[in-house]
Amino acid sequence: MALPHWTSQQVLPPGRHAGDLADVYERLVFDAPHQNDREILFSALNSYLGVARRIIPSGRAWIGGELITRTAHPPRSLDVVLIPDEWGALKRLDDAGRSALYGLLTLRGVIVGQPAMYLDQVQPVGGMLDGFLCRPGDEDVWAEVWAEGGRGYPEMIW
């Protein structure tokens, strides 16, 4: 199912719009200015979701950020919130799986050792993407944030 066309405000119509990677590419890359910048972000999204699907057996991803607007300036980043179908599957991850999951998430206020340093933010995919994990019961909160300003957003299901 194709994503809807851009509104006169250069956003997707309000609401959550089901689509797959081909739909996202068609609307957010092919049908928008700054295709080269969008291609890079789309590649980051594609890789990110590939890793997410290996860790989270089934779920959804909502796409947000600058990529989902059609503006005169090139998009620099995108946001993804991951919504697992079964939270218990994440709780059963082994150490390697848990580490891989944490590598998908944006972390703020991070202190690392050897040498000790403080980082304001650590982001997946070289900082092009902010990744978030929706906890059970927080879906409405995320939906409100993603729909801010009356814009719509793509939802991808696996």
Q: Which range of residues forms the domain containing residue 67?
A: 16-157
Query: Is residue 152 a part of any domain in this protein?
Result: yes
The pTM assigned to this predicted structure is: 0.89
Query: Is residue 24 a part of any domain in this protein?
Result: yes
Query: Is residue 146 a part of any domain in this protein?
Result: yes
Query: Is residue 150 a part of any domain in this protein?
Result: yes
Q: Domain containing 76 — which CATH number?
A: 3.30.460
* Full pLDDT tens readout for the chain, 158 residues: 699 999 999 999 999 999 999 999 999 999 999 999 999 999 999 999 999 999 999 999 999 999 999 999 999 999 999 999 999 999 999 999 999 998 899 876 656 666 766 556 566 776 789 999 999 999 999 999 999 889 999 999 99
Query: Is residue 139 a part of any domain in this protein?
Result: yes
pLDDT at residue 106, rounded to an integer: 85
Query: Is residue 99 a part of any domain in this protein?
Result: yes
Beta carbons of 99 and 55 less than 8 angstroms apart:
no
Q: How far apart are CA 64 and CA 151, in angstroms?
A: 10
pLDDT at residue 149, rounded to an integer: 85
Query: Is residue 56 a part of any domain in this protein?
Result: yes
Domain tally, the chain: 1
pLDDT at residue 62, rounded to an integer: 98
Query: Is residue 7 a part of any domain in this protein?
Result: no
